[in-house]
Structure 1
Amino acid sequence: MAGLSLKCGDCGVLLKSTEEAREHAELTSHSNFFESTEAVLNIVCTTCGKPCRSKTESDLHTKRTGHTDFVDKTLESAKPISMEVPKPDAELDEHADTSHSSQLEEMIVPEVDKKLLEELESMGFSLARATRALHFSGNASVEAAVNWVVEHEDDPEIDQMPLVPANTKVEAPKPTLTPEEVKLKAQELRERARKKKEEEEKQREREREKERIRIGKELLEAKRIEEEQERKRLIALRKAEKEEEQRAREKIRQKLEEDKAERRRRLGLPPEDPAAAKPSVPVVQEKKTSLPIRPATKAEQMRECLRSLKQNHKEDDTKVKRAFQTLLTYIGNVAKNPSEEKFRKIRTTNPSFQERVGSLKGGIEFLELCGFEKIEEGEFLFLARDKVEMAVLNSAGSELDSAIKNPYFGIL
Protein backbone atom coordinates (compact mmCIF):
# COMPACT_ATOMS: atom_id res chain seq x y z
CA MET A 1 0.00 0.00 0.00
CA ALA A 2 1.35 3.44 -0.94
CA GLY A 3 2.30 5.84 1.83
CA LEU A 4 -0.39 8.34 2.77
CA SER A 5 1.74 10.54 5.06
CA LEU A 6 5.17 11.15 6.51
CA LYS A 7 5.68 10.31 10.18
CA CYS A 8 8.28 11.92 12.45
CA GLY A 9 10.14 9.17 14.26
CA ASP A 10 11.10 11.58 17.06
CA CYS A 11 7.67 12.92 18.07
CA GLY A 12 5.18 10.78 16.06
CA VAL A 13 3.40 13.61 14.26
CA LEU A 14 1.85 12.90 10.84
CA LEU A 15 2.64 15.25 7.96
CA LYS A 16 0.87 15.60 4.59
CA SER A 17 3.86 16.40 2.37
CA THR A 18 7.61 16.76 2.15
CA GLU A 19 7.13 20.55 2.44
CA GLU A 20 5.48 20.11 5.86
CA ALA A 21 8.25 17.67 6.86
CA ARG A 22 10.90 20.26 5.93
CA GLU A 23 9.11 22.97 7.96
CA HIS A 24 8.74 20.59 10.90
CA ALA A 25 12.47 19.76 10.75
CA GLU A 26 13.38 23.47 10.74
CA LEU A 27 11.17 24.20 13.74
CA THR A 28 12.00 21.13 15.87
CA SER A 29 15.44 19.97 14.51
CA HIS A 30 13.93 16.46 14.06
CA SER A 31 15.42 14.52 11.15
CA ASN A 32 13.98 10.98 11.44
CA PHE A 33 11.06 10.77 8.94
CA PHE A 34 9.55 7.76 7.18
CA GLU A 35 6.53 6.88 5.04
CA SER A 36 3.37 5.84 6.85
CA THR A 37 0.18 4.23 5.66
CA GLU A 38 -1.77 6.30 8.22
CA ALA A 39 -3.60 9.22 6.70
CA VAL A 40 -3.56 12.68 8.35
CA LEU A 41 -6.85 13.19 10.16
CA ASN A 42 -9.40 15.46 8.52
CA ILE A 43 -12.20 16.01 11.03
CA VAL A 44 -14.62 18.66 9.68
CA CYS A 45 -17.07 20.65 11.83
CA THR A 46 -20.57 20.25 10.37
CA THR A 47 -21.65 23.63 11.75
CA CYS A 48 -18.97 25.94 10.34
CA GLY A 49 -16.92 23.62 8.07
CA LYS A 50 -13.59 24.15 9.87
CA PRO A 51 -11.16 21.22 9.32
CA CYS A 52 -9.28 19.84 12.33
CA ARG A 53 -6.20 17.64 12.02
CA SER A 54 -6.33 16.09 15.51
CA LYS A 55 -8.68 15.28 18.37
CA THR A 56 -7.00 17.99 20.44
CA GLU A 57 -7.68 20.59 17.75
CA SER A 58 -11.35 19.56 17.51
CA ASP A 59 -11.70 19.74 21.30
CA LEU A 60 -10.21 23.24 21.27
CA HIS A 61 -12.64 24.25 18.51
CA THR A 62 -15.56 22.93 20.58
CA LYS A 63 -14.37 24.86 23.61
CA ARG A 64 -14.10 28.08 21.61
CA THR A 65 -17.32 27.88 19.59
CA GLY A 66 -19.55 25.35 21.32
CA HIS A 67 -19.79 23.26 18.10
CA THR A 68 -19.91 19.54 18.89
CA ASP A 69 -20.81 17.82 15.58
CA PHE A 70 -17.87 16.68 13.45
CA VAL A 71 -17.53 14.43 10.35
CA ASP A 72 -14.40 12.32 9.75
CA LYS A 73 -13.36 12.86 6.09
CA THR A 74 -9.87 11.47 6.48
CA LEU A 75 -10.31 8.67 3.91
CA GLU A 76 -11.98 10.96 1.40
CA SER A 77 -9.04 13.34 1.28
CA ALA A 78 -6.29 10.74 1.69
CA LYS A 79 -3.89 10.68 -1.30
CA PRO A 80 -0.56 8.88 -1.82
CA ILE A 81 2.31 11.10 -0.78
CA SER A 82 5.04 12.08 -3.27
CA MET A 83 8.59 11.86 -1.97
CA GLU A 84 10.07 13.88 -4.83
CA VAL A 85 11.26 17.36 -3.96
CA PRO A 86 10.40 19.89 -6.71
CA LYS A 87 13.42 21.52 -8.24
CA PRO A 88 13.48 25.31 -8.51
CA ASP A 89 12.97 26.46 -12.08
CA ALA A 90 14.23 29.62 -13.72
CA GLU A 91 11.22 31.60 -12.61
CA LEU A 92 11.86 30.67 -8.98
CA ASP A 93 15.52 31.56 -9.34
CA GLU A 94 14.55 34.91 -10.72
CA HIS A 95 12.13 35.45 -7.85
CA ALA A 96 14.84 34.49 -5.37
CA ASP A 97 17.23 36.98 -6.94
CA THR A 98 14.54 39.65 -6.76
CA SER A 99 13.85 38.82 -3.09
CA HIS A 100 17.57 38.97 -2.33
CA SER A 101 17.91 42.32 -3.98
CA SER A 102 14.79 43.63 -2.21
CA GLN A 103 16.42 42.97 1.13
CA LEU A 104 18.86 45.71 0.27
CA GLU A 105 16.01 48.19 -0.15
CA GLU A 106 15.03 50.69 2.54
CA MET A 107 12.80 49.17 5.28
CA ILE A 108 10.01 51.28 6.81
CA VAL A 109 7.11 50.81 9.23
CA PRO A 110 3.96 50.06 7.22
CA GLU A 111 1.02 52.46 7.20
CA VAL A 112 -2.02 51.21 9.18
CA ASP A 113 -5.48 52.56 9.98
CA LYS A 114 -4.94 54.97 12.88
CA LYS A 115 -8.52 54.65 14.15
CA LEU A 116 -8.25 50.86 14.29
CA LEU A 117 -4.81 51.23 15.89
CA GLU A 118 -6.21 53.42 18.68
CA GLU A 119 -9.04 50.96 19.30
CA LEU A 120 -6.60 48.05 19.59
CA GLU A 121 -4.39 50.04 21.98
CA SER A 122 -7.44 50.84 24.12
CA MET A 123 -8.10 47.06 24.31
CA GLY A 124 -4.65 46.57 25.90
CA PHE A 125 -2.43 45.73 22.89
CA SER A 126 1.01 47.28 22.60
CA LEU A 127 1.78 49.64 19.70
CA ALA A 128 4.08 47.12 17.98
CA ARG A 129 1.64 44.21 18.34
CA ALA A 130 -1.35 46.28 17.18
CA THR A 131 0.60 47.65 14.17
CA ARG A 132 1.80 44.17 13.19
CA ALA A 133 -1.71 42.72 13.51
CA LEU A 134 -3.32 45.46 11.39
CA HIS A 135 -0.60 45.26 8.74
CA PHE A 136 -0.77 41.51 8.27
CA SER A 137 -4.58 41.43 8.50
CA GLY A 138 -4.86 44.01 5.74
CA ASN A 139 -6.32 46.81 7.93
CA ALA A 140 -9.65 45.08 7.39
CA SER A 141 -11.16 45.41 10.88
CA VAL A 142 -10.50 45.07 14.58
CA GLU A 143 -11.87 41.51 14.49
CA ALA A 144 -9.45 40.54 11.73
CA ALA A 145 -6.53 42.01 13.68
CA VAL A 146 -7.61 40.14 16.82
CA ASN A 147 -7.87 36.96 14.76
CA TRP A 148 -4.28 37.43 13.55
CA VAL A 149 -3.05 38.00 17.12
CA VAL A 150 -4.78 34.81 18.28
CA GLU A 151 -3.09 32.75 15.58
CA HIS A 152 0.38 34.29 16.12
CA GLU A 153 0.50 34.76 19.91
CA ASP A 154 3.50 32.42 20.15
CA ASP A 155 5.55 34.11 17.42
CA PRO A 156 8.90 35.33 18.84
CA GLU A 157 8.66 38.62 16.91
CA ILE A 158 5.02 39.32 17.87
CA ASP A 159 5.99 42.44 19.87
CA GLN A 160 8.48 43.80 17.31
CA MET A 161 7.52 46.69 15.05
CA PRO A 162 7.03 45.29 11.49
CA LEU A 163 9.25 46.60 8.69
CA VAL A 164 8.55 46.40 4.98
CA PRO A 165 10.39 47.65 1.89
CA ALA A 166 9.55 51.22 1.06
CA ASN A 167 8.05 50.36 -2.37
CA THR A 168 6.61 46.93 -1.56
CA LYS A 169 3.09 46.14 -0.55
CA VAL A 170 2.73 43.03 1.59
CA GLU A 171 -0.35 40.99 0.86
CA ALA A 172 -2.30 40.25 4.03
CA PRO A 173 -3.13 36.61 4.85
CA LYS A 174 -6.74 35.70 5.18
CA PRO A 175 -8.09 35.00 8.66
CA THR A 176 -8.65 31.33 9.40
CA LEU A 177 -10.89 31.68 12.50
CA THR A 178 -14.63 31.59 12.08
CA PRO A 179 -16.65 34.79 12.62
CA GLU A 180 -18.03 33.36 15.85
CA GLU A 181 -14.52 32.67 17.16
CA VAL A 182 -13.35 36.13 16.19
CA LYS A 183 -16.35 37.69 17.91
CA LEU A 184 -15.80 35.69 21.10
CA LYS A 185 -12.09 36.48 21.14
CA ALA A 186 -12.73 40.17 20.56
CA GLN A 187 -15.27 40.19 23.37
CA GLU A 188 -12.78 38.46 25.65
CA LEU A 189 -10.08 40.98 24.81
CA ARG A 190 -12.46 43.90 25.31
CA GLU A 191 -13.46 42.48 28.68
CA ARG A 192 -9.79 42.10 29.59
CA ALA A 193 -9.11 45.68 28.52
CA ARG A 194 -12.14 46.90 30.53
CA LYS A 195 -10.93 45.12 33.66
CA LYS A 196 -7.45 46.53 33.14
CA LYS A 197 -8.90 50.03 32.84
CA GLU A 198 -10.98 49.52 35.99
CA GLU A 199 -7.91 48.31 37.88
CA GLU A 200 -5.91 51.29 36.67
CA GLU A 201 -8.75 53.62 37.66
CA LYS A 202 -8.90 52.04 41.13
CA GLN A 203 -5.14 52.45 41.44
CA ARG A 204 -5.40 56.10 40.41
CA GLU A 205 -8.25 56.59 42.88
CA ARG A 206 -6.13 55.08 45.66
CA GLU A 207 -3.29 57.41 44.70
CA ARG A 208 -5.67 60.38 44.68
CA GLU A 209 -7.01 59.37 48.12
CA LYS A 210 -3.46 59.15 49.48
CA GLU A 211 -2.75 62.57 48.00
CA ARG A 212 -5.92 64.00 49.59
CA ILE A 213 -4.95 62.56 52.98
CA ARG A 214 -1.44 63.98 52.65
CA ILE A 215 -2.76 67.41 51.66
CA GLY A 216 -5.26 67.30 54.55
CA LYS A 217 -2.49 66.55 57.03
CA GLU A 218 -0.37 69.35 55.61
CA LEU A 219 -3.30 71.77 55.88
CA LEU A 220 -3.97 70.77 59.50
CA GLU A 221 -0.29 71.17 60.35
CA ALA A 222 -0.18 74.54 58.61
CA LYS A 223 -3.31 75.64 60.49
CA ARG A 224 -1.80 74.51 63.80
CA ILE A 225 1.41 76.40 63.10
CA GLU A 226 -0.58 79.49 62.09
CA GLU A 227 -2.68 79.33 65.28
CA GLU A 228 0.47 78.89 67.37
CA GLN A 229 2.08 81.89 65.70
CA GLU A 230 -1.11 83.93 66.20
CA ARG A 231 -1.18 82.99 69.89
CA LYS A 232 2.46 84.01 70.30
CA ARG A 233 1.74 87.25 68.44
CA LEU A 234 -1.19 88.07 70.75
CA ILE A 235 0.92 87.32 73.84
CA ALA A 236 3.68 89.57 72.54
CA LEU A 237 1.09 92.25 71.70
CA ARG A 238 -0.43 92.12 75.20
CA LYS A 239 3.03 92.28 76.73
CA ALA A 240 3.89 95.29 74.59
CA GLU A 241 0.58 96.96 75.56
CA LYS A 242 1.27 96.38 79.26
CA GLU A 243 4.78 97.79 78.91
CA GLU A 244 3.42 100.78 77.02
CA GLU A 245 0.78 101.31 79.70
CA GLN A 246 3.43 101.06 82.41
CA ARG A 247 5.58 103.64 80.62
CA ALA A 248 2.55 105.93 80.23
CA ARG A 249 1.79 105.66 83.95
CA GLU A 250 5.39 106.37 84.80
CA LYS A 251 5.33 109.48 82.59
CA ILE A 252 2.13 110.66 84.25
CA ARG A 253 3.62 110.09 87.70
CA GLN A 254 6.77 111.99 86.76
CA LYS A 255 4.63 114.81 85.31
CA LEU A 256 2.61 115.00 88.55
CA GLU A 257 5.79 115.08 90.59
CA GLU A 258 7.15 117.84 88.40
CA ASP A 259 3.90 119.85 88.66
CA LYS A 260 3.88 119.39 92.40
CA ALA A 261 7.48 120.55 92.72
CA GLU A 262 6.72 123.55 90.47
CA ARG A 263 3.75 124.59 92.68
CA ARG A 264 5.87 124.34 95.82
CA ARG A 265 8.53 126.45 94.13
CA ARG A 266 5.98 129.12 93.15
CA LEU A 267 4.57 129.16 96.68
CA GLY A 268 8.04 129.55 98.10
CA LEU A 269 7.95 126.22 99.91
CA PRO A 270 11.04 124.07 100.29
CA PRO A 271 11.27 120.93 98.14
CA GLU A 272 9.46 117.90 99.56
CA ASP A 273 11.67 115.40 101.35
CA PRO A 274 11.12 112.07 99.55
CA ALA A 275 12.22 110.16 102.67
CA ALA A 276 9.39 111.62 104.76
CA ALA A 277 6.54 109.15 105.16
CA LYS A 278 3.00 110.44 105.06
CA PRO A 279 0.35 108.90 107.30
CA SER A 280 -2.29 107.30 105.11
CA VAL A 281 -5.32 107.12 107.42
CA PRO A 282 -5.61 108.83 110.78
CA VAL A 283 -5.64 106.35 113.60
CA VAL A 284 -8.72 106.63 115.78
CA GLN A 285 -8.22 105.38 119.28
CA GLU A 286 -11.05 103.31 120.66
CA LYS A 287 -12.63 104.54 123.84
CA LYS A 288 -12.20 102.11 126.60
CA THR A 289 -15.19 101.28 128.73
CA SER A 290 -15.22 99.71 132.06
CA LEU A 291 -18.47 97.78 131.38
CA PRO A 292 -18.08 94.21 130.01
CA ILE A 293 -19.63 93.53 126.55
CA ARG A 294 -22.10 90.65 126.60
CA PRO A 295 -22.19 88.62 123.35
CA ALA A 296 -25.55 88.44 121.59
CA THR A 297 -27.50 85.24 122.12
CA LYS A 298 -28.88 83.05 119.37
CA ALA A 299 -32.40 84.34 119.98
CA GLU A 300 -31.23 87.95 119.75
CA GLN A 301 -29.44 87.20 116.46
CA MET A 302 -32.63 85.62 115.09
CA ARG A 303 -34.73 88.57 116.26
CA GLU A 304 -32.32 91.02 114.64
CA CYS A 305 -32.36 88.99 111.38
CA LEU A 306 -36.18 89.04 111.27
CA ARG A 307 -36.23 92.77 112.11
CA SER A 308 -33.76 93.42 109.27
CA LEU A 309 -35.91 91.37 106.88
CA LYS A 310 -38.99 93.45 107.72
CA GLN A 311 -37.10 96.74 107.45
CA ASN A 312 -35.66 95.80 104.05
CA HIS A 313 -39.12 94.94 102.69
CA LYS A 314 -41.39 97.25 104.67
CA GLU A 315 -43.11 98.41 101.49
CA ASP A 316 -44.73 94.95 101.12
CA ASP A 317 -46.06 93.80 104.50
CA THR A 318 -47.92 90.84 102.97
CA LYS A 319 -44.71 89.41 101.51
CA VAL A 320 -42.96 89.78 104.87
CA LYS A 321 -45.71 87.95 106.76
CA ARG A 322 -45.74 85.17 104.17
CA ALA A 323 -41.97 84.78 104.55
CA PHE A 324 -42.35 84.56 108.37
CA GLN A 325 -45.08 81.93 108.06
CA THR A 326 -42.99 79.89 105.54
CA LEU A 327 -39.97 79.97 107.86
CA LEU A 328 -42.19 78.91 110.76
CA THR A 329 -43.45 75.96 108.67
CA TYR A 330 -39.88 74.82 107.86
CA ILE A 331 -38.82 75.07 111.52
CA GLY A 332 -42.02 73.35 112.76
CA ASN A 333 -41.60 70.41 110.34
CA VAL A 334 -38.02 69.80 111.50
CA ALA A 335 -39.00 70.08 115.18
CA LYS A 336 -41.86 67.60 114.74
CA ASN A 337 -39.94 65.14 112.49
CA PRO A 338 -36.23 65.53 113.17
CA SER A 339 -35.43 62.12 111.61
CA GLU A 340 -37.05 62.88 108.24
CA GLU A 341 -34.41 64.10 105.81
CA LYS A 342 -36.95 65.61 103.44
CA PHE A 343 -37.80 68.26 106.11
CA ARG A 344 -34.11 68.96 106.76
CA LYS A 345 -33.15 69.54 103.11
CA ILE A 346 -34.38 72.56 101.10
CA ARG A 347 -33.63 73.20 97.42
CA THR A 348 -32.67 76.87 97.12
CA THR A 349 -33.44 76.93 93.36
CA ASN A 350 -37.06 75.93 93.94
CA PRO A 351 -39.29 78.71 92.48
CA SER A 352 -41.68 78.62 95.45
CA PHE A 353 -38.84 78.87 97.95
CA GLN A 354 -37.24 81.70 96.00
CA GLU A 355 -40.52 83.64 95.85
CA ARG A 356 -41.35 83.25 99.53
CA VAL A 357 -37.94 83.25 101.27
CA GLY A 358 -34.88 83.03 99.01
CA SER A 359 -35.40 86.35 97.23
CA LEU A 360 -35.86 88.29 100.54
CA LYS A 361 -32.71 89.53 102.19
CA GLY A 362 -32.41 87.82 105.58
CA GLY A 363 -34.48 84.69 104.87
CA ILE A 364 -31.61 82.31 104.15
CA GLU A 365 -29.54 83.90 106.95
CA PHE A 366 -32.31 83.05 109.45
CA LEU A 367 -32.27 79.38 108.39
CA GLU A 368 -28.48 79.32 108.74
CA LEU A 369 -28.87 80.61 112.33
CA CYS A 370 -31.16 77.61 112.93
CA GLY A 371 -28.37 75.23 111.84
CA PHE A 372 -28.93 74.85 108.09
CA GLU A 373 -25.80 74.80 105.91
CA LYS A 374 -25.30 75.30 102.17
CA ILE A 375 -24.19 72.20 100.28
CA GLU A 376 -23.52 71.20 96.65
CA GLU A 377 -22.31 74.67 95.72
CA GLY A 378 -25.27 76.38 97.38
CA GLU A 379 -27.99 74.42 95.58
CA PHE A 380 -29.37 73.00 98.87
CA LEU A 381 -29.75 74.08 102.50
CA PHE A 382 -29.22 71.02 104.69
CA LEU A 383 -29.54 70.48 108.45
CA ALA A 384 -27.60 67.43 109.57
CA ARG A 385 -29.36 65.07 111.97
CA ASP A 386 -26.63 65.35 114.61
CA LYS A 387 -26.83 69.16 114.46
CA VAL A 388 -30.54 69.41 115.22
CA GLU A 389 -30.92 71.38 118.48
CA MET A 390 -34.47 71.49 119.77
CA ALA A 391 -33.73 74.50 121.99
CA VAL A 392 -32.58 76.50 118.97
CA LEU A 393 -35.59 75.40 116.94
CA ASN A 394 -38.00 76.30 119.78
CA SER A 395 -36.35 79.68 120.17
CA ALA A 396 -36.66 80.27 116.41
CA GLY A 397 -40.32 79.28 116.50
CA SER A 398 -40.98 81.74 119.39
CA GLU A 399 -39.27 84.61 117.57
CA LEU A 400 -41.23 83.90 114.37
CA ASP A 401 -44.54 83.65 116.27
CA SER A 402 -43.83 86.98 117.98
CA ALA A 403 -42.90 88.62 114.65
CA ILE A 404 -46.16 87.42 113.09
CA LYS A 405 -48.49 88.38 115.95
CA ASN A 406 -46.84 91.62 117.19
CA PRO A 407 -48.07 94.50 115.01
CA TYR A 408 -45.21 96.73 116.19
CA PHE A 409 -42.44 94.18 115.46
CA GLY A 410 -39.64 95.85 113.62
CA ILE A 411 -41.07 99.35 114.00
CA LEU A 412 -39.94 100.23 117.52
Structure 2
Amino acid sequence: MAGVSLKCGDCGALLKSVEEAQEHAELTSHSNFSESTEAVLNLVCSSCGKPCRSKIESDLHTKRTGHTEFIDKTLEAAKPISLEVPKVAKESEEAIAAGSTSEPEEMVVPEVDKKLLEELEAMGFPTARATRAIHFSGNTSLEAAVNWVVEHEADPDIDQMPMVPVNRHVEASKPSLTPEEMKLKAQELRMMMRKSREHSRLFLHT
Protein backbone atom coordinates (compact mmCIF):
# COMPACT_ATOMS: atom_id res chain seq x y z
CA MET A 1 0.00 0.00 0.00
CA ALA A 2 1.27 3.46 -0.88
CA GLY A 3 2.14 5.87 1.90
CA VAL A 4 -0.77 8.08 2.94
CA SER A 5 1.00 10.13 5.63
CA LEU A 6 4.37 11.19 6.97
CA LYS A 7 5.19 9.96 10.46
CA CYS A 8 7.45 11.88 12.83
CA GLY A 9 9.94 9.39 14.23
CA ASP A 10 10.55 11.66 17.24
CA CYS A 11 6.99 12.00 18.56
CA GLY A 12 4.87 9.68 16.38
CA ALA A 13 2.67 12.45 14.94
CA LEU A 14 1.02 11.69 11.60
CA LEU A 15 1.09 14.47 9.02
CA LYS A 16 -0.93 14.75 5.82
CA SER A 17 1.61 16.52 3.60
CA VAL A 18 5.19 17.72 3.16
CA GLU A 19 4.04 21.26 4.12
CA GLU A 20 2.63 19.95 7.41
CA ALA A 21 5.87 18.06 8.06
CA GLN A 22 7.85 21.28 7.44
CA GLU A 23 5.62 23.23 9.85
CA HIS A 24 5.93 20.46 12.44
CA ALA A 25 9.73 20.49 12.07
CA GLU A 26 9.84 24.29 12.53
CA LEU A 27 7.66 24.15 15.65
CA THR A 28 9.29 21.14 17.31
CA SER A 29 12.81 20.92 15.77
CA HIS A 30 11.99 17.26 14.96
CA SER A 31 13.65 16.11 11.75
CA ASN A 32 13.10 12.35 11.57
CA PHE A 33 10.18 11.74 9.16
CA SER A 34 9.22 8.63 7.21
CA GLU A 35 6.44 7.65 4.84
CA SER A 36 3.65 5.71 6.57
CA THR A 37 0.71 3.59 5.41
CA GLU A 38 -1.18 4.71 8.52
CA ALA A 39 -3.77 7.32 7.57
CA VAL A 40 -4.17 10.54 9.52
CA LEU A 41 -7.26 10.16 11.70
CA ASN A 42 -10.24 12.20 10.53
CA LEU A 43 -13.12 12.15 13.03
CA VAL A 44 -15.84 14.60 12.02
CA CYS A 45 -18.27 15.84 14.68
CA SER A 46 -21.79 14.95 13.52
CA SER A 47 -23.22 17.98 15.39
CA CYS A 48 -20.99 20.81 14.11
CA GLY A 49 -18.78 19.24 11.45
CA LYS A 50 -15.47 20.00 13.17
CA PRO A 51 -12.72 17.57 12.07
CA CYS A 52 -10.54 16.04 14.80
CA ARG A 53 -7.24 14.44 13.90
CA SER A 54 -6.75 12.37 17.06
CA LYS A 55 -8.66 10.77 19.92
CA ILE A 56 -7.26 13.48 22.22
CA GLU A 57 -8.70 16.21 19.94
CA SER A 58 -12.14 14.55 19.84
CA ASP A 59 -12.15 14.12 23.65
CA LEU A 60 -11.29 17.81 24.14
CA HIS A 61 -14.00 18.81 21.65
CA THR A 62 -16.55 16.72 23.61
CA LYS A 63 -15.49 18.41 26.88
CA ARG A 64 -15.81 21.90 25.38
CA THR A 65 -19.06 21.42 23.46
CA GLY A 66 -20.80 18.34 24.86
CA HIS A 67 -20.87 16.83 21.34
CA THR A 68 -20.26 13.10 21.60
CA GLU A 69 -20.91 11.66 18.16
CA PHE A 70 -18.21 11.56 15.50
CA ILE A 71 -18.15 10.08 12.00
CA ASP A 72 -14.88 8.35 11.08
CA LYS A 73 -13.91 9.66 7.64
CA THR A 74 -10.28 8.62 7.89
CA LEU A 75 -10.36 6.30 4.87
CA GLU A 76 -12.37 8.79 2.77
CA ALA A 77 -9.82 11.54 3.34
CA ALA A 78 -6.77 9.27 2.97
CA LYS A 79 -4.88 9.64 -0.30
CA PRO A 80 -1.35 8.75 -1.43
CA ILE A 81 1.07 11.34 -0.09
CA SER A 82 3.15 13.40 -2.50
CA LEU A 83 6.74 13.95 -1.40
CA GLU A 84 7.12 16.85 -3.83
CA VAL A 85 7.29 20.34 -2.37
CA PRO A 86 4.59 22.41 -4.16
CA LYS A 87 6.05 24.51 -6.98
CA VAL A 88 4.41 27.73 -5.79
CA ALA A 89 5.91 27.31 -2.32
CA LYS A 90 9.33 26.62 -3.86
CA GLU A 91 9.13 29.71 -6.05
CA SER A 92 8.07 31.94 -3.16
CA GLU A 93 10.89 30.56 -1.00
CA GLU A 94 13.38 31.26 -3.77
CA ALA A 95 11.98 34.78 -4.19
CA ILE A 96 12.31 35.41 -0.44
CA ALA A 97 15.83 33.96 -0.43
CA ALA A 98 16.81 36.18 -3.37
CA GLY A 99 15.10 39.15 -1.70
CA SER A 100 16.67 42.55 -2.24
CA THR A 101 19.94 41.05 -3.47
CA SER A 102 18.54 40.44 -6.96
CA GLU A 103 16.71 43.74 -7.26
CA PRO A 104 18.68 47.00 -7.33
CA GLU A 105 17.53 49.44 -4.67
CA GLU A 106 15.59 52.40 -6.04
CA MET A 107 17.61 55.61 -5.86
CA VAL A 108 16.20 59.13 -5.58
CA VAL A 109 17.51 62.68 -5.20
CA PRO A 110 17.60 63.52 -1.46
CA GLU A 111 15.28 66.18 -0.09
CA VAL A 112 17.19 69.30 0.97
CA ASP A 113 16.02 72.52 2.53
CA LYS A 114 14.56 74.70 -0.24
CA LYS A 115 15.55 78.00 1.37
CA LEU A 116 19.17 76.90 1.71
CA LEU A 117 19.11 75.73 -1.91
CA GLU A 118 17.74 79.10 -3.09
CA GLU A 119 20.42 80.95 -1.10
CA LEU A 120 23.23 78.87 -2.59
CA GLU A 121 21.83 79.26 -6.11
CA ALA A 122 21.61 83.04 -5.54
CA MET A 123 25.32 82.94 -4.65
CA GLY A 124 26.03 81.39 -8.06
CA PHE A 125 26.26 77.68 -7.24
CA PRO A 126 24.78 75.20 -9.77
CA THR A 127 21.72 73.29 -8.48
CA ALA A 128 23.50 69.92 -8.38
CA ARG A 129 26.49 71.31 -6.47
CA ALA A 130 24.23 73.19 -4.05
CA THR A 131 22.05 70.10 -3.45
CA ARG A 132 25.15 67.97 -2.91
CA ALA A 133 26.62 70.47 -0.45
CA ILE A 134 23.42 70.80 1.61
CA HIS A 135 22.86 67.03 1.71
CA PHE A 136 26.41 66.05 2.67
CA SER A 137 26.75 68.84 5.22
CA GLY A 138 23.69 67.49 7.04
CA ASN A 139 20.98 70.01 5.97
CA THR A 140 22.09 72.24 8.84
CA SER A 141 23.11 75.70 7.62
CA LEU A 142 24.30 77.82 4.74
CA GLU A 143 27.74 78.13 6.33
CA ALA A 144 28.11 74.35 6.62
CA ALA A 145 27.10 73.89 2.98
CA VAL A 146 29.59 76.53 1.74
CA ASN A 147 32.34 75.03 3.90
CA TRP A 148 31.61 71.66 2.32
CA VAL A 149 31.91 73.18 -1.18
CA VAL A 150 35.24 74.80 -0.27
CA GLU A 151 36.58 71.50 1.06
CA HIS A 152 35.28 69.42 -1.88
CA GLU A 153 35.77 71.87 -4.76
CA ALA A 154 38.25 69.50 -6.44
CA ASP A 155 35.95 66.43 -6.25
CA PRO A 156 35.36 65.01 -9.76
CA ASP A 157 31.66 64.43 -9.00
CA ILE A 158 30.98 67.77 -7.30
CA ASP A 159 28.53 68.82 -10.02
CA GLN A 160 26.70 65.49 -10.10
CA MET A 161 23.29 65.32 -8.43
CA PRO A 162 23.55 63.14 -5.28
CA MET A 163 21.37 60.01 -5.08
CA VAL A 164 20.23 58.08 -2.00
CA PRO A 165 18.21 54.85 -1.50
CA VAL A 166 14.47 55.54 -1.48
CA ASN A 167 14.09 54.36 2.15
CA ARG A 168 16.46 57.09 3.27
CA HIS A 169 14.52 59.75 1.39
CA VAL A 170 13.50 61.83 4.40
CA GLU A 171 12.30 65.40 4.58
CA ALA A 172 14.99 67.94 5.31
CA SER A 173 15.04 69.83 8.56
CA LYS A 174 14.09 73.50 8.45
CA PRO A 175 16.63 76.26 9.22
CA SER A 176 16.11 78.33 12.35
CA LEU A 177 17.53 81.61 10.93
CA THR A 178 15.31 84.62 10.15
CA PRO A 179 15.41 86.17 6.61
CA GLU A 180 17.56 89.06 7.92
CA GLU A 181 20.01 86.65 9.54
CA MET A 182 20.10 84.64 6.32
CA LYS A 183 21.04 87.77 4.33
CA LEU A 184 23.83 88.66 6.77
CA LYS A 185 25.06 85.07 6.74
CA ALA A 186 25.05 85.07 2.93
CA GLN A 187 27.16 88.26 2.88
CA GLU A 188 29.63 86.73 5.33
CA LEU A 189 29.82 83.57 3.27
CA ARG A 190 30.37 85.47 0.02
CA MET A 191 33.33 87.23 1.69
CA MET A 192 34.60 83.89 2.92
CA MET A 193 34.30 82.40 -0.58
CA ARG A 194 36.22 85.34 -2.11
CA LYS A 195 39.02 84.95 0.46
CA SER A 196 39.09 81.21 -0.16
CA ARG A 197 39.38 81.69 -3.91
CA GLU A 198 42.10 84.32 -3.49
CA HIS A 199 43.98 81.96 -1.18
CA SER A 200 43.64 79.15 -3.73
CA ARG A 201 44.97 81.38 -6.54
CA LEU A 202 47.95 82.49 -4.40
CA PHE A 203 48.65 78.87 -3.48
CA LEU A 204 48.58 77.81 -7.14
CA HIS A 205 50.92 80.62 -8.23
CA THR A 206 53.49 79.99 -5.50
Q: TM-score w.r.t. structure 2 length?
A: 0.44
Q: Rg bigger for which structure?
A: 1
Q: Which has the higher contact order (CA 8 A, sep 6+)?
A: 2
